């Protein structure tokens, strides 16, 4: 049994991972920015967590002291922490960079970049004191250098996260601590859907076609990721769902195999 802390885990991929870890028999600490969101997630995950294996802690990752408290609360409750996943992140509306407001830029960098750095700082200090542990950063669009028009801010934040992961992988060599990255691919969550709210319907239809080729549902992606996170023993591991080969195959078969990842969602 491992104890796993996941930031930003009251919904989306983080919540999906939490549910799968619980189903695998592990102890999980979920967190979100508000007490309300944490309590709602705790209630929805109750069936997957018999025996007190689930703990919820409100935490704003842009506040270093709250991340320290997250670690302390989790370790006091469960003992040793085995895995920390920097999952908290926010999206941006798809638009030209120069049209973004100061607050939009500041808020996204504060959560996606500074929050991940704060989380890594807290987790690695704790793991080094223990002598072992594994930190994973949730990468995404932009991590591999790929660009999408109108998503410069978000992509830049994920590119920064990729550099952080690579550098920390080198820094922890020989310590017994592991650092790795998670690339879930395009997963249908509200993080994606909100980008198209209020947009031109023709843009949505065009995007929908691509989503139906490349995107996947949470219930497909998160079990795969959870199993590989638990099994991994390699420093610098890249746990990736949507491989290059899979992308090529999906485009080649798009005219034959029809997919509808939106069924039941929109």
Structure letter (DSSP) for residue 62:
T
Structure letter (DSSP) for residue 85:
E
Name the residues annotated as catalytic. 154
Three-class SS of residue 263? coil
Q: What angle do CA 29, 34, 39 make, to 5 degrees?
A: 55
Neighbours of 258 (CB within 10 A): 8
Closest C-alpha to 56, from 88, 85, 34, 80: 34
Rounded Cα gap, residues 175 and 41, in angstroms = 35
Residue with tokens 């960098």: 109
CB 45 within 8 A of CB 54: yes
Three-class SS of residue 81? coil
Three-class SS of residue 174? coil
Rounded Cα gap, residues 29 and 8, in angstroms = 11
Three-class SS of residue 199? coil
């Amino acid at each position: 049994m491992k104890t796993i802390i996941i930031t930003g885990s009251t919904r989306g991929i983080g919540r999906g991972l939490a549910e799968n870890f619980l189903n695998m028999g592990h102890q999980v600490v979920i967190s979100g920015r508000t007490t309300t969101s944490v309590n709602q997630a705790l209630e929805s995950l109750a069936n997957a967590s018999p025996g007190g294996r689930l703990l919820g802690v409100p935490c704003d990752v842009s506040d270093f002291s709250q991340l320290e408290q997250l670690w302390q609360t989790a370790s006091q409750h469960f003992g040793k922490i085995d895995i920390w996943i920097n999952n908290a992140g926010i999206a941006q509306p798809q638009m030209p960079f120069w049209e973004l407001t100061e607050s939009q830029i500041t808020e996204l960098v504060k959560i996606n970049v500074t929050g991940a750095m704060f989380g890594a700082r807290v987790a690695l200090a704790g793991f080094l004191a223990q002598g072992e542990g594994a930190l994973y950063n949730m990468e995404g669009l932009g991590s591999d250098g790929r660009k999408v028009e109108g998503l410069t801010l978000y992509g830049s934040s994920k590119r920064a996260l990729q550099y952080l992961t690579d550098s920390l992988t080198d820094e922890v060599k020989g310590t017994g601590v592991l650092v790795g990255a998670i690339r879930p691919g395009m997963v249908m969550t509200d993080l994606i859907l909100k980008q198209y709210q209020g947009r031109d319907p023709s843009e949505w239809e065009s995007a929908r076609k691509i989503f139906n080729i490349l995107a996947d549902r949470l219930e497909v992606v998160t079990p795969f990721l959870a199993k590989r996170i638990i099994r991994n023993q390699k420093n610098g591991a890249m746990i990736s769902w949507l491989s290059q080969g899979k992308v090529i195959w999906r485009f080649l078969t798009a005219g034959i195999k029809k997919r509808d990842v939106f069924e039941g969602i929109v």
